[in-house]
Every structure is written in C-alpha cells, then in structure tokens.
Structure 1
Amino acid sequence: MDNMDNIFDPSFAATLMKLDPEDGPQFVEYFRTHAMLSKEKAQLQASVRDQKKLLVENGKLKKDIEQLRTQLQDKQKRRTAKALFSPAPPPTTASPTPNTPVNQSRSPAGATAAVPNISHPPSSQDRRDRQNRRKRGDRKARPSSDSLSLGAEPRVDASRLDLRVGRILSVRRHPLAETMSVQEVDVGENAPRTVVSKLGATTNLEELQGVLAVLLCNVKACKLRGVASKARLLVCSASEGDCTERLAPPPGSEPGDRVTFLNYPGEPDKELQAKQRIWEILQPDLQVDSKGVANYKGCGFEVKGKGLCRAPSLTNCNIK
C-alpha cells in the first residue's frame, strides 16, 4: 500500500503528464482511485478477521461460564446435603474433678470414707423388666438408613442418565426371541455397541437401519437371551396395544451428541449402579406429551443447538 501511495509524488505526476499530456490526468486519477480502493479492501478484510476472532473468543467464554455455573450448582447441592444429613456431635459428659476421688463419700464429720465398688449380679426381677421393655418396643432408636443414603447420594434426577444420539448401523431379529432385535449402534465411540431391544414382532426392522435414535449408554452391560447388550434403546410405548417406536433426535444430530435437560444440569454417572435403581426411579417421569415432545417432569430432551427429541407419531405415552 505504501508503494501505491508513492506513485502520486509530484515528480511521478509531472513525468506522466510529460509522457502523455492529453491522457496524463486520466491516468493519474485512475491510479489514485485504484490505490484508495485497495486500501479500503485491506481494511475491510482486517475488520472481518477481527470480528471472527471475537466470535470465537465469545463462544469459548460462554462455554467456560456454563461449566463454572454447573460446578457451583453441584457444590451448593453437596454443601446443602452435607449440612442436612451430617450426624450431630455426641454429647459431652462431665469428667470427675481431680480433687474428688471416685467411689468416695464424705461423712458428716468431714472425713472421707471409701465406698467399695461392688457389682451385684442382675436379679430375676431386673431381667423380667428388661424383657418387658423389649416387648413394648422401648429400645434405643437406630439411625435411619434412608437419611444415610440421602446424605451419600442427594441428587436423583435425569442428569445422571448418559443419553446420547446413536445411528443404527445394522439390525436383525434375536435368534432366541421373536419380539427382540439386535442392533449395532454408533454412539460416537471407536467401535459400535451391541444393543438388544424389545421392539415387538410387528416392527419393520429394515426401516430402522441407518436411522438415528436415543440411547442410554451408562447402563451395566448384561446378557439378554444369550446376547450381551451394552446400551438401552429408548422407545415410546402406547398404553394400549403393542405399538412401539423409537425416540427420534432432532434433525442435524450426529452420533455421540449428548441429550441434556435445561432444568437439570450436571454430569451423568459413569455407570448406573443396580442397587440404587436410578433408572427404575426416573422412568415413570419420562413421558411424551400431547405435542409428541419427549420430556422429564416437563423439561424437554434437548440436543443443544439442534432441538428437542420427539416421538415420530405417538403422543401422551411412556418412554422406556
């Protein structure tokens, strides 16, 4: 750009006028206009680059703020649960003073006489009294196991489910069960997962090949009729009849996309423990509403930036 500015030196203009007195002014004006346009183009390109850089930085800042907000909410929940369910400190008992000997009583004259510490065997009346108290239920209260379990695991909501979008690569009938099918599903990992599902005998398996579905990926692997299943395919089931269909992710979803809930932030469990029965507790609240949108307690199944998960045709039904 500096070279373009230099061509408009008075000497350059004078030389150009001498070479072509008739068209010299037009050449000078052309070069001046070309230099000005080139300068404006360079400035515009620099402005676009700066704008793109700012957009990328803003996206990173929003992501960091969201992660910090989630961490603060989790810490607040743990702090509240710890304050509610932490056991109370044991009562302190007064210890005897060093100047007062144990098992001594003071006589009226001021002298101390040792009182022998003799333990008497419990009489038959004492034994009968204890037995009667046991029958009436007069026993020492034991700490409730519910409070202990709540203190250890205060959060029981849909955020503990590792729900992901998966693509069904292949599907076939289960060799030992007519109502079951076996799918190979890509959930964004290095290798596909084998999934055994109960889709009903009337389901057209050929229509499922290549489509997207929603899968629960942190269930413990188990064998169903001899075939190991490493995830759970979520389906919608009508209350009447044997009509079932897969839960469909929003358009534009890719294998491995997380399905989250706006009102229930948090990271899912690495693996759902069978003893805690998390899936069994949450499953009754997983519903498809009258508009066909999948939700948990009114909060939609969402793939961030892409939309909500829906049932292809069913409404007002359960998700299982």
Structure 2
Amino acid sequence: MDNTSNMFNPSLAAALMKLDPEDGEQIMEYLKTQALLTREKALLQASVREQKKLLVENGKLKKDIEQLRVQLQEKQRRRIAKTLFSSAPPTPNQGPAPPTPVNQAVTPTGASVPPSSSSHEQRARQGRRRRGERKAPATCDALSLGVEPRVDVSRLDLRVGRILSVRSHPLVESMSIQEVDLGENAPRRVVSKLGEKTQLEELQDGLAVLLCNVKACKLRGVVSQARILCCSTSDDCIELLAPPTGSVPGDRVTFLNYPGDSDRELQSKQRVWELLQPDLRVDNRGVANYKGCGFEVKGKGLCRAPSLTNCTIK
C-alpha cells in the first residue's frame, strides 16, 4: 500500500464501506487524491517561500557588498592623499632647512633674531595652511566618490489601509479628507483629489493602498500625512487601487524583484516619487505593477484596479 493509504485509519475505510457499500471505495479514492493534492500544494508553497527568501537575502548581500566597496575606495583615497602630503620633495638646490627654535626667528642671512610679532603671524599662517592641507583630501573624496542613491520602487513605503471616515474638504470642492487606519497607534489624515464622479460614501470602510513615507504637508489648510494610490484614465475616471482579498491594515506592499528597504521619509529634493510614477501602471489584466513586477501583499496576492486596465497609477 502507498504512503497515501497510511494517511487514513483502516477503521474509516471500514466505516465508509459499511455506510455505503457501493460508493465507499470511490469515496476513499477521492479522499486519497485530495490528500495527495494538498501535500503537493504545501510542498510547492514552501518552495516558493524559500525562493522569495533567497531573493531577499541576495538583495541585502548586494547592498552590503556595494557599501563595503565604497568604504574601501574611500579609505584607499585617504591613504594615498596622506602619503602624498607627508612626502613632499624639498626645494631644488637646497638642503633641508635647519630646525628653528620656538623662541627664535631666522633672517634671510641666517642670523637668529629675537621673536617678534611678524614671526607669530607667520607661524599662525603656516598653521592655518597646514590645517587646510589636512582638510583638502576629505573634500576631494566627497567629490570623487559620486555615489548616487538607487531610484527604484523599493524606496516607497506602501501599506494597506482601511478608510474609517471620509468627508469633503471645507475649502475645495474637488478634494476630500479621509481618516485611514494603517495598523498604527492612531489613524492618519489624508487629503485626496478623487474626482467629481467618486461617491465618497462608498469609500468608507473600504481598503486602499497608501504611500506612507511622504513628507506631511498642508493642502489648502489641512495637513495630509500619506497619499492614496489611484488608477485613472482621465481626471473624471478614477478608482482606488484595491489590495488583495484578506489584506488587513498595516500589510506591506512589496515587489519581488526589488527587495530593498524603503526610505524613512522621501526627500522632496530627490523627487523619488516623480521619477518612479511614470513606471507605475495597471496592465491589461488589471494588475498594478512597476516595470512588470506586481504590487504584492505576501501570502495574499496582488493589488488590482477594480475595473480599469492599461492606465496609470498616481
């Protein structure tokens, strides 16, 4: 008897045969088949999880190697600069200058004279010059490294949120204000422009995908602490991006091919969102993606547009 048969108690088979002599054997075969399928599905899921884990670890290792390479280059430049400044050649046709006592100055004829105010000023200038020479290599290092931060979707902190309440903006008719639960100690306030055709009352208690590491800013007098991601084909046709079934507030949205860590806060001068936004799209199946890599809530599925396809995400 195969391993599948061992999954079932012989008494169960006997009971089935007693209850239904005609179909008892078929029922047992069906149960065995379902057990095999369940076991194969579990093995496949374990394999996929292990593959994703390896991809994440590889991404972190690449990041660590890059940081070590940069540190090594910086140390090498500092060591070379220090060697060059410490081994400057003497002036041609002259031997090394004799040591000068601290309390004496040397005239052009070589005679020593008592210290004067001019000698103090000369030593001060030499000290300032030496200090400037020590600082020069560091400036050269900063300019020569030229290391630019990565610009990919892993820098975005995307999370699932539940809209607790929604109301119109008191000053701007086309804007609305949402209170959103993101699995934190307190909900965040978000100001959005969702279009005139959006029924605000239908958004309450719904799930959405939010960009959470944007800098808080005032929009017409109301502070907005996050950004709700929408998909649209025009200003009038706008839908909220929908997380997969089973998502809960606080779930992270990640990208299999971009396993890096998100920024603590996106800096406006780097314009990360503006650079990434053209590559955030909904494909012809309605799946949200970045350069072909789907918005994924691990273990639950992909984020989608409710009805739109082939459109932008903003």
Q: Deviations over 1:163-219 (max 9, x none)?
A: 000011111111111111100111111111100011011110111111110000011
Amino acid at match of 1:72: L
Structure 2: which 5+ runs fail to align? 1-42, 98-107, 109-138
Pairing of 1:22-33 with structure 2 (within 5 A) = none
SS of corresponding position for 1:184: strand
> Which of 274, 277, 281 matches 1:280?
274
- Which of 202, 205, 215 is the aligned partner of 2:210? 215
Contact kept? 1:81, 1:154, Cα under 8 Å:
no
Task: Note the C-alpha offset of 1:74.
Answer: 1.7
Partner of 1:118: none
Q: How many Å apart are 1:101 and its aligned residue? A: 2.3
| Percent of aligned positions that are identical | 65
Aligned to 1:252: 246
Q: Which amino acid aligns with 2:203?
A: L
Indicate the SS of the match to 1:272.
coil
> Distance between the aligned counterparts of 2:144 and 2:184, measured in 1?
39
Structure 1 144/288 Cα, relative in aligned 2: closer, same or farther at 3 Å?
farther
Q: Is the 8 A contact 1:85 1:147 kept in 2?
A: no
Structure 2 CA distance for aligned equivalents of residues 147 and 318 of structure 1: 38
Partner of 2:188: 193
Deviation of 1:99 after TM superposition, in Å, equals: 9.1
> 2:216 corresponds to which letter in structure 1?
A
After superposing on structure 2, the runs of 4+ consecutive aligned residues of structure 1 that deviate more than 2 Å are: 61-71, 76-94, 96-103, 142-148
Q: TM-score, normalised by structure 1?
A: 0.61
1:145–1:235 Cα change, 3 Å:
farther
Matched residue of 1:182: which SS?
A: strand
Provide the residue aligned with 2:26 in structure 1.
none
Instruction: Write the letter of the residue equivalent to 1:247.
Output: L
Q: Which of 281, 289, 301 is residue 283 of structure 2 equivalent to?
A: 289
Per the TM alignment, residue 237 of structure 1 is displaced from its structure 2 partner at its CA by: 1.6
In 2, Cα distance between equivalents of 1:318 and 1:81: 37
Deviation at 1:157, TM superposition (A): 0.8
Taking structure 1 as reference, are residues 243 and 74 closer, same or farther at Cα in structure 2, changes over 3 Å only? same
Q: Among 166, 169, 172, which residue is 2:164 paired with? A: 169
> Residue 304 of structure 1 corresponds to which residue in structure 2?
298
Q: How far 1:79 sits from its partner (Å)?
A: 3.7
Equivalence map 1:1-320=2 (5 Å): 68-80=57-69, 89-90=80-81, 92=84, 94-96=88-90, 100-101=94-95, 151=147, 153-238=148-233, 240-320=234-314
Query: Any idea what SS the aligned residue of 1:75 has?
Result: helix
TM-score of the superposed pair, with normalisation by structure 2:
0.62
Does the 8 Å CA contact 2:188/2:226 hold for their aligned counterparts?
Answer: yes
8 Å Cα contact 2:55-2:259 kept in structure 1: no
C-alpha offsets along residues 77-131 of structure 1, whole Å, 9 cap, x if unaligned?
A: 334556789995559375128994279xxxxxxxxxx9xxxxxxxxxxxxxxxxx
Distance 2:307 2:282 in 1: 10
The total of aligned residue pairs comes to: 225
- Provide the rounded CA distance (Å) in 2 between the counterparts of 1:317 and 1:162: 22
CA–CA separation in structure 1 for the residues paired with 2:92 and 2:144? 41
Give 1:76's aligned amino acid.
Answer: I
Q: Could you say if the C-alpha distance between residues 261 and 65 of structure 1 is closer, same or farther in structure 2, counting changes exceeding 3 Å?
A: closer
Conserved in 1, the CA contact under 8 Å of 2:74 and 2:141? no
Structure 2 CA distance for partners of 1:234 and 1:80, relative to 1, 3 Å: farther
The higher radius of gyration belongs to: 1
CA distance in structure 2 between the aligned counterparts of 1:76 and 1:198, rounded to whole angstroms? 43
The CA RMSD measured in Å over matched residues stands at 3.5
